[in-house]
A = this chain, B = another copy of it.
Amino acid sequence: MAKTEPRVVIIGAGFGGLACAQALGGAPVRVTVVDKNNYHLFAPLLYQVATAALSPADIAEPIRRILHRHRNIDVRMGKVSGVDTAGRQVILSDGARLPYDRLVVATGSIYSYFGHEAEWQRHAPGLKTIENAREIRARLLYAFESAEAITDPEERRRLMTTVVVGGGPTGVEMAGAVAELCRYTLSRDFRHIDPRQARVLLIEAAPRILGPFPEDLARYAERALEAKGVKVVTGAMVDSIEADGVVVGGRRIPAGTIVWGAGVKAAPAAEWLGIEPAKGGRIAVEPDLSVRGLDGVHALGDVALAAGDDGAPLPGLAQVAKQQGEHLGRALARQARDGTPVPPFRYRGRGNTAIVGRNAAIFDFGRRRLKGRLAWLLWAVVHVWLLVGAEKRMRVTLQWLWRWLTYQRGARIITREPPDAEKQL
């Protein structure tokens, strides 16, 4: 009997792929979830790993643990190297082939360096993976260790300067968190430098930060950032990024740590499918999230280009991916039972949020807006709630309470040597 059940392969266990798999739990289908990592990552809190507030394991849960109750779901750790759309098989880098009747591509997005990947990426890591976050944490903390050890005032100033490129929610969160790290956490632990004098610059090409948010909320966030000591530079294009600084609008800013949060593009899944990628490398999908011209293939989340009710592309948000995953998972479950086709997906925006730091966040619920301490509390409650598993919720809550009380951060460790360690000292 089990032999005749349709096989669903889901590539990627981010918000979209995981929601899809969970909705298929117990359905009369055989599901295989493929991911290059063994864990689902709660990416919205990666910036807290990068700024020593949380540990990687606080925001990462094994995929097979999350799905272990659903006996019809198989989890496979592996890298996809291609898809044989004619033969309906996903090909893994180890040569294995996973046959499918329905394929769900949910591979998310990666940072885009506007064609400068080769030169810029290694100097300015983005915030997409645990390895990224650990790298940024090491660079930040190491820059202060190096500054403490030298006497040259100019080099010290450089090391104590952090540049965050991109004024979207990630850039804002990162800049605010770095400023608080310097001002509160590191402030009294050094003898030869004063971390409170560290500089944090947030560089945005548009005339203002937080473009998708209403102007009043964005202005509030900008003021809150400035109050925490972040210098917000808008209307400024990055010309180049080097190991020891960035050039912005022709002016060179020496920096010890550079973080990239300026643009994303889809993970390169369109190539696997042999189709022409749409804008941003994304896979254009129909209202039912199917990929035109490819039978049995769906795409969702950041990798998909889906139109909203107004015809504009849906934004690359966790809640979009999650809703799409749930929608498709339920629809495929129903289809397996009675053959009903997948109905069109409709996105229900539940509000946008960004956090600046202690006591400062913004929420945009469309008609209603919220900012300040209440928004910050709500942000914390929502994010703890969204974490997977009771233990992670307790652990993160405990660490946040502790930080709120003491201004200390529990993960201030440099766990790998920066590649240019000797050079910096």
Contacts and interface: CB of A to CB of B under 8 A. Distances in A.
Given A38-B145, A58-B55, A76-B149, A189 B64 contact: yes
B414 A39 contact: yes
Contacts of A141: 38
Interface in A377-400: 391-392, 394-395, 398-399
A94 interface: yes
- Chain copies in the assembled complex: 2
A12 interface: no
Given A149-B77, A395-B398, A398-B395, A412 B94 contact: no
Interface in A25-74: 37-39, 55-58, 60, 62, 64-65, 68, 71, 74
B412 A65 contact: yes
Contacts of A148: 76
Interface in A76-107: 76-78, 92-94, 96
B130 A56 contact: no
Contact of A64 (B77, B190, B391, B425): B190
A130 B413 contact: yes
Interface in A312-360: none
Contact of A94 (B62, B408, B416, B425): B425
A101 to B, nearest CB: 19
A62 B188 contact: no
Which 9 pairs, one residue from A and one from B, show the smallest C-beta to C-beta distance? Answer: A94-B425, A57-B411, A55-B55, A64-B189, A77-B145, A68-B189, A55-B57, A62-B412, A39-B413
Interface of A: 37-39, 55-58, 60, 62, 64-65, 68, 71, 74, 76-78, 92-94, 96, 130-131, 134, 141-142, 145, 148-149, 188-191, 391-392, 394-395, 398-399, 402, 406, 408, 410-416, 422, 425
Given A57-B410, A71-B191, A77-B142, 12 more contacts: A39-B412, A39-B414, A56-B415, A62-B412, A64-B190, A65-B412, A76-B148, A77-B145, A77-B149, A96-B425, A134-B415, A391-B402
